[in-house]
Amino acid sequence: MKNIAEKLIKWYEENKRELPWRSDPTPYHVWVSEIMLQQTRIEAVKKYYVTFMKELPTIESLAKVEEEKLLKLWEGLGYYSRARNLKKAAMLVQEKYKGKMPSSYQELLQLPGVGEYTAGAIASICFEEQVPAIDGNVLRVVARLTANSQDILLPQVKKQITNQVKQILPKQAGKFNQAMMELGETICIPKGNMKCNECPIKEYCQAYSKQLTNVIPFRNPKVKKKTEEKTVCLLYYQNEIAIRKREEKGLLQQMYEFPNIPQLESIASIEEQIQSWGLQLQNIQEIGKVSHVFTHRIWNMDCYIVKVKNKNTEFIWVNEQELMHKYALPTAFSKILQRKEEKNLCVIQKVYK
């Protein structure tokens, strides 16, 4: 392990990818990018990051932004509590640190939504503090380097790996941390796709020498996801579509959704539900089935276009331009709009006179 730092940093300086947040690694830029990158692929984050920085270029602007706009900027990234915590943390930085990010690892940990990894990344990259930044990529790299066959998701294993990295951290901790992450992102990738022949430190890798790279890292099987069935209605009155705000707690809290029923329903049941909303039916068209996978659950949705003859006050009625630019619609529901656009012909159409 002690032999890898110099080689890894040299490799990183020669091979690192050009990423938007690397061109100007201020504490704010590193912070936002690291929060966005949690549970999300780099390629997906790039466009969000550029748009976010254009709209909210400073900590002050993030602290003052309305939640509706913030969630709209985050729309499609998922895990929306990350965005809310960014705003909470920005408000705290404005109040307690006069708009400047705290410079120490321990202070950074006090910010909402900032855990050990994010604090380590900001402190080492931006303030040259000699602390590790241990994410899933680094856990995988170190597990292979040391042929660690334990479950890397266990807290005691993560602590063990963190201590191993602390012992070899060079003074250039920021570059070393980025190099480890870059190696895990591009070379030492998950099982079956590794590029060991391109690895700058393969001579020190015990998993490579013992031909264990397809076995390590080990993870216990994931818990089976819970499946939920829903019937979702795209309710149209003329050129307006109905949406409503979700509850303040739980999954996708305070995001917008299309009206839905928490089970798969027959056409007759949908008719009854529409009437219970105080709406008069004009016609129903079936779009088809749409599924969306969350971390711990799966939504299977039967989706319908429902045209009505009147509006109610229970829903918010907006045109599709307003929906696109103003209201944050989770990916699960955006998929239904995409399916509607893709499917010109309808399987079922029932007209009401």
Rounded to 5°, the CA angle 158-161-164 comes to 155
- Is 266 within a domain? yes
Q: Terminus-to-terminus CA distance in the chain, angstroms?
A: 76
Distance CA 298, CA 226 (A): 6
Is the domain of 191 the same as that of 337? no
Q: What is the dihedral of CA 305, 309, 314, 320, to 10 degrees?
A: 50
Is the domain of 234 the same as that of 339? yes
Distance CA 168, CA 158 (A): 16
- Is 20 within a domain? yes
Bond prior to 217 in cis (omega within 30° of 0): yes
Q: What is the dihedral of CA 178, 184, 187, 192, to 10 degrees?
A: -170
Quick check: 43 pLDDT over 80? yes
Residue 163 sits at φ, ψ, to 5 deg, of -65, -35
Which of 178, 209, 240 is where one domain is finished?
A: 209
Distance CA 242, CA 324 (A): 13
Is the domain of 231 the same as that of 200? no
- Is 219 within a domain? no
Ranking 263-267, 294-298, 347-351 by mean pLDDT, the lowest is 347-351
Domain count, the chain: 2
Tokens of residue 131, six digits: 């602390």
Residue matched to tokens 């890292």 = 217
pLDDT band, very low/low/confident/very high, at 347 (cuts 50, 70, 90): very low
- Is 30 within a domain? yes
Quick check: 344 pLDDT over 70? no
Is the domain of 82 the same as that of 195? yes
Helical residues (DSSP H) of the chain, grouped into ranges? 4-15, 27-37, 42-55, 59-64, 67-74, 81-96, 105-108, 116-127, 136-145, 155-168, 173-186, 206-209, 267-276, 320-325, 331-342
Catalytic residue among 13, 34, 185, 248: 34
Q: Which domain holds residue 33?
A: 4-209
Quick one: pLDDT at residue 346? 42
Quick check: 171 pLDDT over 60? yes
pLDDT band, very low/low/confident/very high, at 252 (cuts 50, 70, 90): confident
**Pick from 227, 222, 230: which is nearest to 298 by CA?**
227
pLDDT tens-place string over residues 123-140: 999 999 999 999 999 999
Work out the average pLDDT over 153-179. 94
Is the domain of 196 the same as that of 249? no
Q: How many CA atoms lie within 13 A of 156 on its CB side?
A: 1
Is the domain of 191 the same as that of 230? no
Which of 166, 182, 209 is where one domain is finished?
A: 209
Is the domain of 262 the same as that of 126? no
Which of 209, 237, 271 is where one domain is finished?
A: 209
Is the domain of 87 the same as that of 187? yes
Is the domain of 22 the same as that of 164? yes
Mean pLDDT for the chain?
91
pLDDT tens-place string over residues 298-327: 999 999 999 999 999 999 999 988 988 889
Residue 242 sits at φ, ψ, to 5 deg, of -90, 135
Distance CA 328, CA 277 (A): 23
Work out the average pLDDT over 326-341. 89
pLDDT tens-place string over residues 47-66: 999 999 999 999 999 999 99
Q: Are 204 and 3 in contact (CB under 8 A)?
A: yes
Q: Which helix (H) or strand (E) holds 281?
A: strand 281-293
Q: What percent of the chain has pLDDT over 90?
A: 75
Quick one: pLDDT at residue 348? 43
Tokens of residue 342, six digits: 């893709």
Burial (0-12, 13-18, 19+ Cβ within 10 Å), 68: middle
Is the domain of 121 the same as that of 255? no
- Is 217 within a domain? no
Quick check: 343 pLDDT over 70? no
- Is 220 within a domain? no
The CATH number of the domain holding residue 124 is 1.10.340.30
Quick check: 219 pLDDT over 90? no
- Asked if 272 is an active-site residue, the reply is no
Cα distances from 68 to residues 12, 13, 156, 190, 241, in angstroms, run 39, 40, 40, 37, 18
Residue 347 sits at φ, ψ, to 5 deg, of -75, -40
Tokens of residue 142, six digits: 């170190």
Distance CA 52, CA 177 (A): 25
Is the domain of 54 the same as that of 192? yes
pLDDT tens-place string over residues 89-110: 999 999 999 999 999 999 999 9
- Is 216 within a domain? no
pTM of the entire predicted model: 0.82
Read off the DSSP letter of residue 203.
Answer: G
- Which of 175-189, 238-252, 255-269, 319-333 ranks highest by mean pLDDT? 175-189
The CATH number of the domain holding residue 277 is 3.90.79.10
- Is 87 within a domain? yes
Quick check: 350 pLDDT over 60? no
Is the domain of 165 the same as that of 281? no
